[in-house]
Chains A and B, each alone.
Chain A
């Protein structure tokens, strides 16, 4: 099976953006480094 690079990049990018946003929100509402 040939890897579909376009799809892999699309998903990696989506995962990266979504997890940074979720992580960022949790980080901010939990009081940052506090």
Chain B
């Protein structure tokens, strides 16, 4: 049996569903819905009719939450914020995201690998800078017959190279998350038809 809610009940239920949101985030959303009712009522439509056209408060709350989490991830891009947005949209029934998840994690692993490589270059570089100085005092440490000064300069070069990879990888990762968020947003837009 379908029980049609009136405006007051609908807004009350929606507010209850969205109770996790902060007041300053929730108020504009509730105002939007109230406005929607006002416009609809002024056009002669009944409250029940408007409620029916909107869908259940639970479904709407899911969309609103997903949309909110995507915005939050856009403001502060982090893996945690991104995952929250991702699972919220997955909860809306966008199972196409599951296929995308494989590609997403693959690229993420590649970017992580680059970070590790950058770290290894920096580590090798610092070791090369230090080793010419400690080589005479440490047994089993060999520069492979290379000139100690050459090893020292190669070390500086390697460290700088590692740091450059690190910076470049940081930019690429950030850009990648932005692109992934755009894709998530596209999924929400398909259903709601709004930005």
Give A contacts to B, CB under 8 Å. 5, 8-9, 12-13, 15-17, 19-20, 22-24, 26-27, 30-34
Contact = CB atoms under 8 A, between A and B. Distances in A.
Contact of B160 (A19, A22, A32): A19
B145 A16 contact: no
B147 A9 contact: no
Nearest to A11: B160
Contacts, number: 56
Interface stretch (B133-141, B150-158, B175-183): B150-158
Contacts of A17: 157
B154 A20 contact: yes
Interface stretch (B7-15, B40-48, B90-98, B161-169): B161-169
Interface residues on B, range: 10 to 19
B167 A27 contact: no
Given A19-B154, A20-B154, A13 B164 contact: yes
Contact of B145 (A5, A15, A34): A34
From A5, A23, A30, A31, residue with most partner B Cβ within 10 Å = A23
Contacts of A5: 167
B39 to A, nearest CB: 46
Contact of A16 (B147, B149, B152, B157): B157
Contact of A26 (B145, B149, B161): B149
A23 B153 contact: yes
B160 A33 contact: no
B55 interface: no
A19 B147 contact: no
B102 interface: no
A19 B157 contact: yes
Contact of B157 (A8, A23, A34): A23
Contacts of A12: 160, 163-164, 167
B132 to A, nearest CB: 11
A27 B163 CA distance: 23
Contacts of A15: 156-157, 160
B153 A22 contact: yes
